[in-house]
Amino acid sequence: MGVWFGLMGPANTPRPVIDRLNTEMQAVLAMPEVKKKLAEAGVEVAPGNPAQFGAFIKRETGRYRTIVQTAGIRE
């Protein structure tokens, strides 16, 4: 099991805002000092676009739903 982080916003966020945030986040993640700090912390960066992140979340949700159902975990 791993831990992941991502930037999210409200569902009705205008596309130009999403695109700008993604562009800026990619630029920050490409900065040598940021890359170095993240690597020192053991963080593996996997930058992508909003569609890729949405697909990733969908896969993760499905995967953990299956685990919870199979294990019979209840509230």
Instruction: Determine whether 22 is exposed, middle or buried from the number of CB atoms within 10 Å of its CB (0-12, 13-18, 19+).
Output: middle
- For the segment 34-45, the average pLDDT, to the nearest whole number, is 95
Q: What is the pLDDT of residues 56-75, one digit of tens each?
A: 999 999 999 999 999 999 88
Q: How many domains does the chain have?
A: 1
Residue 22 to residue 25: CA distance in whole angstroms: 5
- Residue 37 domain flag: yes
Q: What is the pLDDT of residues 3-22, one digit of tens each?
A: 889 999 999 999 999 999 99
Whether 27 contacts 54, CB under 8 Å = no
- Residue 2 domain flag: no
Domain that holds residue 32: 15-71
For the whole prediction, is pTM greater than 0.85?
A: no
- Residue 3 domain flag: no
- Residue 41 domain flag: yes
